[in-house]
Amino acid sequence: MQTQIQGLSTHYIDLPGTRGTVLFLHGWGAHIGLYQPIFDLLQQLDYRVVAFDMPGVGKTEEPKQPLTIDDYVAFTLELCGKLELEEVILMCHSHGGRIALSMLTDANCPVKCRKAVFYDAAGVRKAAASSQKLRQMGYKAIKWLGTSKLTAPLFDDLYEELRDKRASADYKAATPVMRQTMNNVLPLDFTAKMPSITAEVLLLWGEHDTATPLEHGQIMEQRIPNAGLAVIRNAGHFSHADNWPQFSAVLRAFL
């Protein structure tokens, strides 16, 4: 289905159920079709499932301007308003975790949530090792030299080469608008706000996740008052795809 949210043609699904509503927030660049096994399970458990492709992903139009986390929250809440969602179970993956954390730590959020499921979710900023910090300092110096009017003729090729090597696959594939959006949201850290979360939170984490390492799940378990962590064995960032039997069993038990 398509609707207009924030002026963008937005693709979403709204699957029927009577036990409550699960609002699903997907990961960066991962359209909702990749999560169909989860939706099927939720349907088996008789939950209403609402999920949407975020701006610039899947069948939803790309925004004309870069987005901030507040823009993502406003986008989500406008869809909730259209579908008359007042209370949901939040379920999020990767980048969706930032949006969920923004909602859960806002006492004035109009959509209430008593339960949430975070799996391989973002929201904890990666700590840089000393060697990495030195590389970052060197990169910033080359960036300045490569973009300054006086030195760019000498250093612009070196800067472009280093920037290409540092960029992730997602960043390389993104348009300029979505690249700036990534720059806006990737550095965010919600650790300090996590103790204010009152919802019961299930943390599902792939033990070999490299995008949002297991350490981040452990930090969330420590910081969120009513949270429990289940480590999904032999799984990476898409733990539901890597070990569906364990993932689905834990999710089913929680819900």
Closest by alpha carbon to 30, among 95, 125, 122, 99? 95
Mean pLDDT of 52-57: 97
Closest by alpha carbon to 35, among 115, 109, 119? 119
Superfamily for domain range 2-125+188-254:
Alpha/Beta hydrolase fold, catalytic domain (3.40.50.1820)
**81 DSSP assignment:** H
Domain ranges of the chain: 2-125+188-254, 130-181
- For the cut 60, the answer to whether the pLDDT of residue 24 exceeds it is yes
CB 207 within 8 A of CB 232: yes
Alpha-carbon distance of 97 to 75, in angstroms, equals: 15
pLDDT at position 156 = 63
Residues 116-143: pLDDT tens digits? 999 999 999 976 444 444 555 554 565 5
Alpha-carbon distance of 152 to 234, in angstroms, equals: 47
Contacts of 197 (CB under 8 A, 6+ apart): 101, 104, 105, 224, 225, 226, 227
Residues 142-192: pLDDT tens digits? 555 556 666 667 556 654 555 555 455 766 777 899 999 999 999 999 999
